[in-house]
């Protein structure tokens, strides 16, 4: 009894989920309904011309059996064929244009949604998985929405027209053709659940496959230094064998589905042919009518057989839609739209607690920072120093307590809006592919060469940049290939300084620098940017002499000044 109830609830949940996905897909495709309608109308015109050619062909055959050659009908028949081919080419070109434009629009929306999602939610997805959804899943969805829906409706129109033409010439064969369709559809439904299961597993496997490749290639230094080549090759081989198994299962099931459909409709074709031959033997129909039977039954079978491909494609579309919606429906950050940048900013943190799971990271954290103050945040690894920075940047929200930035105009609670007056240097190598100037423009899009030179000086990076063959225009490859880690850190610091923001956050920003270079940078910041409020996360005690306040985080998530 309980299992039946669970199955019923699961079925209702799946149905509601499918309805929700269909509504979302309708919303997505709505702006393109006009273009899809054009493709559909062109396809209908092509189909009607093709059917007209079939009817004219009947008369050509009937004339030939009486020893008459009707040249006009032959010319019309050839013309109809040529026009139908031409219309088909136009439909294919237009469909390709719409499909590409549509898929790019969805990708752009998906990409924008990822960027604007709440950081903690979006970071739960592996970047390789997101790329798979951005490429393969969106491609399947776009192709399905542009192809499946119009083809399904077109098949219905094609079946209706063919049925009425057959009904005009022979009612029994028309009714038989009408019955054979549902028989094929029932055969398809028998394989539905298993096919969806294989498709879902195949998409998940593809995400794992791409995620592993991307991660192993992006951490090639780690792979080599830890001699993980053989282990990675073995893991890659395991993923390949798993994918191969799923592909074979999916292909086998698809082949069986196609074979069953072909068997059903081949039987229909043979019966139609034999019935036509029987009717000719009795003199009830002409040879021309038999050609109409065979051609139309063949086209009807072709249309319904096409559904054998459309139905799996429809399942693929639903699976991809579900995977895309999981990301598109992530909660979004909300901006208040403020653009003003105050000159001096302080901070007040009161009784803030935060945890990523059940174990608390910060507990009743409280401290205050005056405008222009230089503050060091220290403590052993894992006590929550980076979490504090994430809270200050509004990447995560405090579960208890409050955080407010203080300005001359009052107070501003922490929100995504506060990022307009914060410059941030994260841990590690965070430069992007492009020139050094391109990287500096990330901090300020309209930065001048003079401003770039100034911040490079403040970051003790001006001399080595001047010595590069192309100076500011030197192109850096992925992971800052071409310069050292210390040089990359200095450019990252210059990128943060060029925006001239009142708050600067340095998260282990000098870890790759020697003490002399580090001292030069901090001296420049404290002397030339004395009005800037600066947070420095560090493990180096040598940096503390440049800070007016030192906050030490303890193991219990509290702070000691």
The per-residue pLDDT for 457 is 92
Q: Rounded to whole angstroms, how far apart are CA atoms 544 and 378?
A: 9
């995504």: which residue's tokens?
Answer: 416
Please provide the CATH number assigned to the domain covering 346-560: 3.40.50.300
Residue partners of 114: CB distance under 8 A and separation at least 6: 122, 130, 327, 330
Residue 401: predicted pLDDT: 92
pTM, two decimal places: 0.72
Averages of pLDDT over each 10 residues, the chain, 561 residues: 51 68 80 78 80 79 77 81 80 78 84 88 84 84 77 76 77 69 64 74 80 76 74 86 85 76 71 78 78 73 64 77 87 84 90 85 89 89 86 91 88 91 85 87 90 91 88 81 84 91 88 84 86 87 82 76 73
- CA pair distance 161, 154, nearest whole angstrom: 11
Helix (H, G, I), strand (E, B) or coil at 475: strand
The predicted structure's pLDDT at residue 452:
92
Query: Per residue in 15-47, pLDDT tens?
Result: 777 788 788 888 887 887 777 777 778 878 877
| Neighbour order of strands in the sheet with 503-507 | 422-425, 503-507, 533-537, 374-378, 549-553, 559-560
53 to 50, 168, 395: CA distances (angstroms): 5, 16, 65
Residue carrying structure tokens 């209706």:
160
Instruction: Tell me how far CA of residue 287 lies from CA of 162, 167, 172, 267, 386, in angstroms.
Output: 18, 17, 18, 21, 84
Rounded-to-integer distance, Cα 374 and Cα 544, Å: 10
Domain positions in the chain are: 10-328, 346-560
Give the separation between CA 391 and CA 382, rounded to whole angstroms. Answer: 16
Q: What gap in Å lies between CA 535 and CA 373, rounded to an integer?
A: 9
> What is the residue-wise DSSP string for 105-127?
HHHHHHHHHHHHB-HHHHTTS-H
Other beta carbons less than 10 A from residue 136's beta carbon: 17
Residue with tokens 């893991």: 235
* Cβ–Cβ under 8 Å, residues 540 and 483: no
Return d(Cα 403, Cα 410) in angstroms, integer: 14
DSSP state of 408: T
| Arch. (CATH architecture) of 10-328 | Up-down Bundle (1.20)
- Per residue in 384-406, pLDDT (tens digit) is 888 999 999 999 999 999 999 99
What is the C-alpha separation between 117 and 130, in angstroms, rounded? 13
379 close to 388: Cβ distance less than 8 angstroms = no
């Amino acid at each position: 009894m309980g299992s039946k109830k669970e199955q019923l609830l699961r079925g209702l949940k799946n149905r509601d989920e499918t309805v929700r996905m269909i509504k979302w897909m309708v919303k997505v495709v709505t702006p393109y309904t006009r273009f899809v309608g054009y493709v559909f109308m062109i396809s209908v015109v092509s189909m009607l011309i093709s059917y007209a050619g079939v009817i004219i062909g009947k008369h050509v055959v009937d004339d030939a059996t009486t020893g008459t050659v009707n040249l006009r009908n032959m010319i019309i028949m050839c013309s109809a064929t040529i026009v139908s081919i031409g219309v088909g080419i136009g439909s294919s070109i237009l469909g390709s244009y719409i499909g590409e434009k549509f898929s790019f629009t969805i990708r752009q929306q998906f990409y924008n949604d990822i960027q604007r999602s709440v950081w903690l939610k979006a970071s739960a997805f592996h970047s390789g998985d997101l790329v798979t959804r951005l490429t393969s899943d969106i491609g399947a969805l776009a192709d399905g929405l542009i192809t499946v829906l119009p083809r399904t409706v077109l098949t219905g129109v094609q079946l209706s027209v063919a049925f009425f033409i057959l009904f005009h010439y022979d009612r029994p064969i028309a009714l038989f053709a009408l019955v054979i369709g549902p028989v094929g559809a029932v055969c398809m439904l028998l394989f539905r659940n298993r096919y969806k299961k294989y498709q879902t597993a195949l998409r998940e496997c593809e995400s794992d496959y791409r995620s592993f490749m991307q991660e192993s290639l992006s951490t090639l230094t780690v792979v080599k230094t830890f001699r993980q080549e053989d282990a990675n090759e073995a893991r890659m081989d395991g993923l390949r064998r798993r994918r191969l198994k799923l592909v074979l299962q999916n292909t086998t099931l698809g082949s069986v589905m196609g074979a069953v459909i072909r068997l059903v409709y081949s039987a229909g074709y043979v019966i139609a042919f034999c019935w036509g031959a029987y009717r000719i033997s009795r003199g009830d129909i002409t040879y021309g009518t038999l050609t109409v039977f065979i051609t139309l039954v063949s086209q009807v079978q072709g249309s319904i057989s096409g559904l054998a491909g459309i139905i799996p494609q429809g399942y693929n579309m639903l699976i991809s839609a579900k995977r895309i919606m999981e990301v598109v429906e992530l909660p979004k950050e909300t901006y208040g739209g403020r653009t003003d940048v105050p000159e001096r900013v302080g901070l007040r943190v009161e009784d803030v607690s935060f945890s990523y799971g059940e174990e608390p990271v910060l507990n009743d954290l409280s401290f205050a920072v005056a405008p222009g103050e230089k503050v060091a945040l220290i403590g052993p690894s894992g006590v929550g120093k980076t979490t504090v920075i994430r809270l200050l940047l509004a990447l995560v929200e405090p579960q208890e307590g409050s955080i407010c930035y203080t300005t001359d105009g009052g107070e501003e609670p922490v929100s995504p809006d506060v990022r307009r007056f914060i410059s941030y240097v994260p841990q590690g190598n965070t430069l992007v592919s492009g020139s050094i100037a391109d990287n500096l423009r990330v901090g300020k899009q309209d930065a001048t060469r003079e401003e770039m030179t100034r911040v490079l000086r403040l970051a003790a990076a001006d001399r080595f940049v001047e010595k590069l063959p192309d100076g500011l225009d030197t192109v850096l490859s992925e992971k800052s290939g071409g310069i050292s880690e210390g040089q990359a850190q200095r450019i990252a610091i210059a990128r943060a300084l060029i925006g001239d923001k009142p708050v600067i956050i340095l998260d282990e920003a000098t870890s790759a620098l020697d003490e002399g270079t580090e001292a030069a940078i901090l001296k420049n910041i404290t002397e030339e940017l004395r009005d800037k409020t600066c947070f420095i996360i560090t493990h180096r005690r040598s940096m503390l002499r440049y800070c007016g306040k030192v906050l030490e985080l303890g193991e219990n998530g509290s702070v000691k000044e």
